[in-house]
Structure formats: structure tokens, C-alpha cells
Chain A
Amino acid sequence: MSITEYFDLLFTDYTLRNISLGTAVLGIICGMLGSFAVLRKQSLLGDAISHAALPGIAVAFLITGAKDTNILLLGALVSGLIGAFWIRGMISKTHLKSDTALGLILSLFFGFGMMLLTYIQKQPNANQAGLDKYLFGQAATLVTSDVQLMVIVTGIALLVVLLFWKEFKLLLFDQDYTKTLGFNTKFIDILITFFIVLAIVIGLQTVGVVLMSAMLLAPAAAARQWTNTLATMVILAALIGGFSGVFGTAISATQNNLSTGPVIVLVASFFVVVSFVFSPTRGLLFKQIRLLKNRRDLQLKKTLQFMYGIAQTHENIDHPHTIRILNNFQGFTKKSLRKMEQNQWILLNKQQWSLTSKGFAEAQNLFNQQPQHE
């Protein structure tokens, strides 16, 4: 299947439409809430929570004996929340640093989950097969009701983000100050954490426990490179997440044996790389270009400053001087002199140069200038 065929089928084929819609919505909610996680410096929280959700799935299966997605995800939600609040408690009540607490909970819950999964696989229950899809995700198993659930959860998350936007921003920037303004920081914190857990849980079926944190972090990290306002960052992260979902699905649908979850994560990571290199303000490429340009500019200005010093000793500033007079100053070349002429700082006449009034003013104001980059 080619990419064009994919987009033709997108509107007619039931499975393909489900998967594309599901991954797009998942990308949107993860990008949106992932921005908050990244700005709170809780990037690894997502990883710990998604791993902590695994035993919940296994326990839910053991109790009900059935593979109803909603019930399994409910189990994941409960155990994810237990993990998340256990981490919170550990950080606030003990001397452990947050990375230690995250690592501990992650491995403890994941180990317990894996133990239960192996136990379940040895059971004589015909239903058991396929639980391991929650490890790496299997987008192909998405059915309409799953996608509906994703859309509803994303809608609620969006509503909550819009309602509590001001409170979220305040808490993200300055938690102590938030408290002194009379807001219940614990409530805001729990609200954010709850929705991050929810986003992770609805992504488990598609992307899986192991890669889920990338869905949260990659779009947010990419979006941060392009903007300096929170609203734009959140919207951009949601868009990047959504696009990664659709493109990832398209790529995996048009190739044989490419599983969807990892491809989506790779597409999102591609966005990260592109953003880190090409962002106009924070990107590595333009930073380097700006650095080189500034250096060249400064070299020109140094030469200009030298000329200014000479011109000052004469009554009329446009008095011509021979170029040879610059020889004991190393910073100029033929090319740089021509560049200065282009800037209308100097006039060149055979082997002589003279300062223009524009060049004189430029040299005079060299140290009074405001930086150009806002």
C-alpha cells in the first residue's frame, strides 16, 4: 500500500480510520499534558506511571477472567494512580530524591506486573493470550468504543485545562507563590497528575507501557523550541503529537510488519531532532549562524573603530587616508573593506579610504547600542 492509497482508505476502511483517529487523539492529549510534565521537570514521571500501570492490567484480568479493554484500563488507572501518589509521598516524606523515588516505583511495579503476566500465561485459561500487547502496544486492536473513550477523555482533559489554565500556569511557574495567593496547591497538583495518569492509561493499548513516556515528552520538547509562550507551546505540542500519531500510523500501515506504536514514537522523535536543529531562536543551526555573523560584524566594527580613531585626529572626518595606514592593524581584508563600503561606512578610492558621516555615527554609537535580539 502506498501513502496515497492510505489516505484514500482512511475514509473508507473501518480499522484504518479507527487507528488513525485513535493515535491522533492520543497524540493530542499527550502533547497537551506532556507540556505540563516537562515544565514541571517531571519528565520521568510519565515513564514511572506507565510502568506502574502494568500490574493493574494483570490484576484486573485475574479478578474478572475476561479481556474487556475498559476493565483492564480501569485496573491500569488504579495502579497507575497508586504509583503516582506513592512517588509523591516518597518525595515529600523521605529524604529520597525524585529520581530515586521514580526509579524505585518504576521497577517495583513493572517487576510485579511482569511476574503476574508470566503467572497468567501458565494458566489453563484460553483467554489469557494477548495481554502482553500492553507491553509494546498494538494499535490494530483499537475498536470504535476504544476510540470513543479516548475522544471523551481528551475532551474532558481539554475542558479542565481551559478551566484551570490560570491556576496550572501559576503552579508550574511558582508553587510557593501560588500558595500565598490562597490557592490550594495540593488540589491543582493532584488534578494535573490525575490527568497525566489518565492520558498514559488510554495510550497503553496503542503505544504500550515501555514507550508511553516518549509520547508525553517528545511533542512537548519539540514545541518548547519554537515558542516562548505557554499557550502556544501547549497547542503546538498537541498538534505535533496529533501529527505524529497520524503519520506514524500511515507509515506503519503502508509497510509490512512495522508496528504502529514504535513508529509513532520515532516520528515524534524526528520532530524533536528537527526542532532542536532548525528552530529560529533556540535551534542549534541558527544559533551557530548568528554566532558567525556576529563575529564577522564585530570584526568589521573593530576596523571601523580603528578608522574612527584616525579620522578623529583630522578636522574633516571624510579626509582620505591611504589603506596602508591600516597595515599595523590585523583585522581587515580587501573583502571586509568592500563590505564596509557596501554598508556605506567608508568610501574607497584607489588606495585610499575615507569615513562617511554614516560610518562616523556608527562608530560613535558602537557601545551605546541595544542588543538586537529580543
Chain B
Amino acid sequence: MTQKIAIQVDDLTVAYNYKPVLWDIDLVIPQGVLMAIVGPNGAGKSTLIKAVLGIIDPIAGSVAIFGKPYKKQRKLVAYVPQKGSVDWDFPTTALDVVMMGTYGSLGWIKRPGQKQKKAALEALEKVDMLSFKSRQISQLSGGQQQRIFLARALVQNASIYFMDEPFQGVDASTEIAIINILKELRKAGKTVVVVHHDLQTVPEYFDWVTFLNVKKIATGAVKDIFNDDNLTKTYGINYKVAVNK
């Protein structure tokens, strides 16, 4: 395969106190894929993303982005946290939240200006939220809040996107809007990694998948490895049999 490697994770191990949450994860993600991370609750899906991004300190392991340590490649990576991880009653507007996506490229102390504002407005337009730009964020619906978070990451203009359950609690029209944007990102050669819960939509939305349950079960192209065998190994039940009972 001639595809470039976007993300390489080696021997990543994370533990809360004594309990291992991620055990010796090796992962190679080629550039330009739209990848789902699936696994049961407590499998360490969010933790994997957070450890890769340095939000959580791993016990061991290393992460390389396009062949260099993550710390040197931060500007190439954007993050969409879980919607519930922040207080939406914070006194600020939708536009202001999206502007935060430009803070990383600005660096310390420098203030955002017209250029940053323009980028933020464009991102709002992409997620179809331009008319809500001055809305206080607590007045937005769950789906709209998720779009705002997505716009904030789009502003970063990164090469790699990590998203933690972007489809959680959003309605059908938002889900379609989000997946279309993700597919557009892939078309533009970006790599997108998504923590995903809905197994039904995996073959439809994604072309790459990683099965995770503390250990890595399998990773690869959806058409090759999204099968009963791996689902059973990951969830501990025969998924299709259990659903069709």
C-alpha cells in the first residue's frame, strides 16, 4: 500500500489507579480514512482519543502523527470533545465558541482579529449555523451545540480530526449533516477518527474501523474486518444473533 501513515500508536497503556483501561494498544491509521472506534461501554474508546491527544497521561507508549511525535504536530490535529464535557450555560455566543478554534494557531496572548472571525463565520456556514452566530450557547438545541463543536474543529483547518461521539443525542437531520461534512473531509484527504456507538451505521458511514475492548481486537478496512467474528470478540455476544432473536 502506498498510503501515508497518518497516526501511529505504539504500546499505548493507560490505567486509572490500578485498573488498566487501555492495554498495549498498537494502531496504524492510514491517511485519508474515516475511521470508527467501536466497543462496549468502558472499553476505553474516549480514553484512547484522550491519551493520543495528551489530555490523559499514559503509563507507557508513544504516538506519532505523520512520523513525528504528537507534541510537535499539534497544529495538524483537531479535537471535538463530547458535548456533555462542558457547561453550556457559560456566558458566551456560538460565534465566540467557534473562534476558540483559532486560538491554537494564534498562540499565547495574541488576540483574534478579522481574519480569525472570517474563518469562524465560514465554519459556521459549513455546519449551517450562520443564523445562530450571536445566540447564547445555552439557547441552542443539543444538535446545534454539536454542530458548533464541529465548526470549532473545522476552523483549526487540521489534517487529522478526533471526534468523541459526535452523533450522541442529535436528531436525524444533524446526523446526516455531520456525516456529510465528515465525508467531505475525507474527500479532501483528511483523516477522521470517530468514537461511534451505533453499529448499524458503521458500514454506511465509515471505511475503516477499530474494535476496542481494553485491548485492540482488530483494526482495518470495514469491508474486510467488520464481521460477526470481530463483533463477538469485542462485545462478548454474538451480535447478529442477539439482535435478531
- Whether B103 lies near A166 (C-beta < 8 A) is yes
Q: In the complex, A210→B50 CA distance in Å? A: 41
Whether A180 touches B54, Cβ cut-off 8 Å, given contacts A163-B109, A228-B136, is: yes
Say which size band chain B's interface belongs to.
Answer: 20 to 34
Instruction: Tell me if A124 counts as interface (CB < 8 A to partner B).
Output: no
How many residues in A have their beta carbons less than 8 Å from beta carbons of B?
A: 28
- Does B9 count as interface, using CB distance less than 8 angstroms? no
Q: Are A166 and B112 in contact (CB under 8 A)?
A: yes
Instruction: State whether A174 touches B77 (Cβ < 8 A).
Output: no
A164 to B109, CA, bound (A): 6
- A281-B112 Cα distance, complex, nearest whole Å: 29
List the A side residues contacting B93 at CB < 8 Å.
Answer: 228-229
User: Known interface pairs A39-B90, A176-B50, A230-B91. Does A170 touch B103 (Cβ–Cβ under 8 Å)?
Assistant: yes
CB-CB contacts below 8 Å: A222-244 with B: 224, 227-230, 232-233
A374 contacts the other chain (Cβ, under 8 Å)?
yes
The answer to whether B104 touches A182 (Cβ under 8 A) is yes
Mask: chain B, 57-79; 1 = CB below 8 Å from A; 0 = not: 00000000000000000110111
Kindly report which residue of chain A lies nearest to residue B138, judged by CB atoms. Answer: A228
Is A174 touching B86 in the complex (CB atoms < 8 A)? Answer: yes
Structural contact, B91 and A228, CB atoms closer than 8 A = yes
Interface string of A174-195 (1 = CB under 8 A from B): 1011011111000000000000
Q: Does A174 contact B112, Cβ atoms closer than 8 Å?
A: no
Q: Give the residues in chain A near B1, CB-CB below 8 Å.
A: none
B91 engages A224 (CB within 8 Å):
yes
Q: Are B100 and A374 in touch, CB under 8 angstroms?
A: no
A39 contacts across to B, CB distance below 8 A: 90-91
Does A172 belong to the interface (CB within 8 Å)? yes
Instruction: Render A274-288 as a binary contact track against B, CB cut-off 8 A, 1 for contact.
Output: 000000000000000
The CA of A182 and the CA of B107, in the complex, are separated in Å by 8
Q: A167-B108, A170-B100, A182-B74 are in contact. List 18 more A-B contacts (CB 8 A).
A: A41-B87, A164-B109, A166-B110, A167-B109, A170-B103, A173-B100, A179-B54, A180-B54, A180-B74, A181-B104, A182-B107, A183-B104, A224-B91, A227-B91, A228-B136, A229-B91, A374-B135, A374-B136
Please report B residues at the A interface, Cβ cutoff 8 Å.
50, 53-55, 74-75, 77-79, 81, 85-87, 90-93, 96-97, 100, 103-104, 106-112, 134-136, 139, 152
The 5 closest A-B pairs by CB, nearest first: A181-B104, A228-B136, A180-B79, A182-B74, A176-B55
Which residues from chain A sit less than 8 Å from chain B, CB to CB? 39, 41, 163-167, 169-170, 172-174, 176-177, 179-183, 224, 227-230, 232-233, 373-374
24 A-B pairs (CB sep. < 8 Å): A39-B91, A166-B106, A166-B111, A166-B112, A167-B103, A167-B109, A169-B92, A173-B86, A173-B90, A173-B97, A176-B85, A177-B152, A179-B54, A179-B55, A180-B54, A180-B74, A180-B104, A182-B75, A182-B104, A227-B91, A228-B93, A229-B96, A232-B91, A374-B136
